[in-house]
Chains A and B, each alone.
Chain A
Amino acid sequence: MSDFTIFLIDALVKAVIVVLLLTGGFAYTTVLERRFIARLQVRVGPNRAGPWGLLQPIADGLKLFVKEDIVPAEADKVLFTLAPAITIIPSLIILAVVPLGGEVTIPFINYTTSLGVADINVGALYILAIASIAVYGIVLAGWASNNKYAMLGGLRSSAQMISYELAMGLSMLAPVMMAGSMGIGDIVDAQKNIWLIVLQPVAGVIFLITTYAETNRAPFDLPEAEQELTAGYHSEYSGMKFAGFFMAEYIKMIAVSAIASALFLGGYRLFGLENLLGGWMGPIIMTGKIVAGLLLFVWIRATLPRIRYDRLMAFGWKILLPISLANVIVTAVLLVLGIFPTLT
């Protein structure tokens, strides 16, 4: 087979595997969240649908599947149906540039490949670009619902997301500067000996906070809160379309945990342990870090109350943006002066 067909099949298989892992992961993230948040509130989560509630996502999926699909009368039908799709697709493809493991050799066909779908050398830029596209889906959902509360929820959510994307981009700049490359694979390689969160704690914390705002998760979940704005931008959605928004949020959670662990927590590397099992330890380490990130998401949701919208915007513009700018400047100065250890 020619090089090009091998390359194509390789990319296709990896892409399909990543999408399947994300959608399967989404299902079990919902159970993880419900059971973990229940234990944090001294109660038991769902444990009836199968052992330990593991069949709960199937029950939920079946319920949403057979629900009546309501489209509001004056709603724009094309946009109404398109909005969930526009929200889900960026969440699925954002993980393409994050390497989930190092070089492995598939035994039966003796094929050596790296476990990242497409480790391009502008990975960080790709991530920021795709995160910005996700805003379209939400604002379209609010608009197409023909409901003033949904419209307001959509506007609020998109304003929140684009404000926090600025601080996210600047805090992503810190690992890029430390590793000297925008490719996520290079950033992970630069963390062979030390994790970047040790060298860049400010950028790490700011990145964490901004990704909570990006995924509309507590404490920044005002746009989708049930109590305010009557469920915001997805209040007119029912059945599978609602499941689509839900899916987009949880898949974005998983993707963002993966990106955070690749940028700041060493990715699939764990000081040399990732070479065990012929390189297959890398994905397992990555999974562990992603699960830790998800547990942190749920833990924060259980702890903090919702932030009021004007304070949320003030926090993003007046506090996070100046601090991340200052961090970039200080990092640049320290790098030029040679104070940071060389990582590449």
Chain B
Amino acid sequence: MIKQGIAVFQGMMTVLKHLFEPTVTIQYPEVQRPFQERFKGRHELKRYANGLEKCIGCSLCAAACPADAIWVEAAENTDEQRFSPGERYAKTYEINMLRCIFCGYCEDACPTEAIVLEHHHELSFYDRKSAIYTKEMLLVPPPPGVPDTPVKVTPGKFDRSIPEMENPK
């Protein structure tokens, strides 16, 4: 019986050793854990280096989405009012975050790499209406020094929908 008592005492000393170790708790939200590069968070609509939107309004993402969360309405680009290279641009682009399952199929389906799932994950809202993210919320701002779309361009320069253009640095 003395042996069991000594065993209990040894157990207690082992536990006491843990008291002096640093804790493994991360004090969220002051400290955030770093994410993997391909972490699927909130969507963003990207642009090219010259400020034109990559999204051409083809709604392949809406077709690919398994939860039917994306709504796209396309409209014609003109050279005076150009939003994206090619003929079409997305006049209306809405994602219903309550339906989205963050699978990334829209990112896989997009032919121009316009829609990308970034790392932002703290998405909460107080009512269902504000769960519908519009194009203004999803579009990234233009690179510094470049004017926002719509822009007036030289005619004939950006006729191809999937052109050879640069991504922003």
Contact = CB atoms under 8 A, between A and B. Distances in A.
Interface of A: 38-44, 299-300, 302-304, 319
Interface string B127-155: 00000000000000000000000000000
B12 A39 contact: no
A339 B163 CA distance: 103
Given A44-B23, A319-B1, A303 B18 contact: no
Contacts of B16: 40, 299
Contacts of B8: 303-304
B19 interface: yes
Interface of A is mostly: helix
A43 B23 CA distance: 5
A32 B1 CA distance: 32
Contact of A44 (B12, B18, B25): B25
A40 B25 contact: no
Contacts of A44: 23, 25, 27
Contact of A302 (B1, B15, B22, B24): B15
Contacts of A41: 18
A38 B14 CA distance: 15
15 contacts: A38-B23, A39-B19, A39-B23, A40-B18, A40-B19, A42-B24, A43-B23, A43-B24, A43-B25, A44-B25, A44-B27, A303-B8, A303-B11, A304-B8, A304-B11
Q: Which 10 residue pairs across A and B have the least CB separation, nearest first?
A: A44-B25, A303-B15, A43-B25, A303-B12, A44-B23, A303-B11, A42-B18, A39-B19, A40-B15, A302-B15
B166 interface: no
Nearest to A47: B27
B21 interface: yes
Contacts of B1: 319
Contacts of A42: 18, 21-24
B104 to A, nearest CB: 33
B18 to A, nearest CB: 5
